[in-house]
């Protein structure tokens, strides 16, 4: 192996050259034989010369490629962790823009909401998705959830039945911290408002959840089978307190009257008949 020795002003001992290196006598540095850039730096401190190892150009390019792969993998793992925490129903994982059949023209608004997320977040602007059963409200909300999660934006998508079941099993002093914990998420999506039981306990907890989100000044998306008339003209104060806060912060969007579930059921039935008959 070829060796070299710097002048006595250099305290760094000579080292053996690697097969892909050569010594450049013009500056007394070790170079890469592939890209012909130095693998040593030269620094002088208090009349002493130091030759620390540095990456040559091809080593730096390889390092950057590996770093990009590592960061991508870390990002993918973080997004997966966020989805595990934020999507509380496994069916929500499949609600993505890529799987949109194009049946609902209102889906263009879901795209716009995601595209303008920074504005929506700053204004605390949410959505109230209302319409008949099976028209695609949950899919609409799920597409927004997954698109934002893919951008590493924390989203929680759940429903009041799940929330109320959790709260019912808690000690009273633990309920407020649990409700407040949902405000850690940049966007909260609550599916099927109005399907929860109308007991005094349930209405009180639903109000606390909505009011906590309202006071946090963070966006909320709600889906419901209730009509806009029912939401605007509740029959009692308990419901009015809930609906007023939702309507103040959430833009109402009616999802069309076409029953997508019935369409899908008909298609599945026809396909089954074709296979069986």
pLDDT for 257: 57
Which sign does the torsion angle of CA 246, 251, 252, 258 carry? negative
Q: Which 8-state DSSP code applies to residue 271?
A: H
Q: Is 207 exposed, middle or buried (0-12, 13-18, 19+ CB in 10 A)?
A: middle
Q: Give the containing element (helix H, strand E) for 251.
A: strand 250-254
pLDDT for 274: 55
Q: Which CATH class is domain 87-265?
A: alpha beta
- Helix ranges restricted to H, 116-171: 117-123, 137-149, 160-168
pLDDT for 30: 94
Query: Is-contact 102 111, C-beta < 8 A?
Result: no
pLDDT for 3: 52
**In order along the chain (277 residues), what is the average pLDDT of each group of 10 residues?**
48 72 92 95 89 94 94 85 88 94 91 96 95 91 97 94 92 93 96 83 93 96 94 92 95 75 48 48
pLDDT for 135: 87
DSSP string, 210-226: HHHHHHHT--EEEEESS
Q: Where are the domains of the chain?
A: 1-85, 87-265
């Amino acid at each position: 192996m070829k060796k070299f020795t710097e002048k006595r002003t250099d305290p760094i001992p000579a080292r053996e050259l690697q097969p892909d290196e050569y010594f450049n006598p013009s500056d007394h540095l070790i170079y890469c034989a592939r890209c012909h850039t130095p693998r040593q730096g030269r620094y002088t401190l208090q009349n002493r010369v130091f030759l620390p190892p540095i990456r040559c150009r091809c080593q730096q390019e390889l390092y950057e490629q590996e770093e990009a792969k590592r960061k991508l993998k870390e990002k993918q793992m973080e997004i997966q962790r966020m989805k595990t925490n934020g999507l509380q129903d496994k069916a929500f994982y499949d609600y993505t823009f890529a799987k949109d059949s194009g049946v609902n023209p209102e889906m263009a608004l879901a795209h716009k909401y995601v595209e303008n997320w920074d504005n929506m977040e700053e204004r605390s602007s949410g959505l109230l998705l209302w319409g008949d059963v099976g028209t695609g409200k949950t899919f609409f909300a799920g597409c927004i959830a997954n698109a934002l999660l893919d951008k590493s934006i924390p989203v929680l998508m759940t429903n009041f039945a799940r929330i109320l079941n959790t709260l019912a099993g808690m000690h009273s002093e633990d309920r407020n911290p649990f409700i407040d914990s949902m405000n850690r998420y940049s966007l909260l999506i609550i599916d099927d408002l109005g399907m929860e039981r109308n007991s005094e306990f349930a209405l009180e907890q639903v109000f606390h959840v909505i009011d906590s989100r309202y006071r946090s000044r963070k966006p909320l998306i709600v889906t419901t089978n209730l009509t806009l008339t029912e939401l605007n003209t509740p029959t009692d104060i308990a419901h009015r307190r809930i609906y007023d806060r939702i309507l103040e912060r959430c833009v109402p969007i009616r999802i069309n009257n076409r029953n997508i579930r019935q369409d899908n059921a008909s298609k599945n039935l026809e396909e089954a008949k074709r296979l069986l008959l």
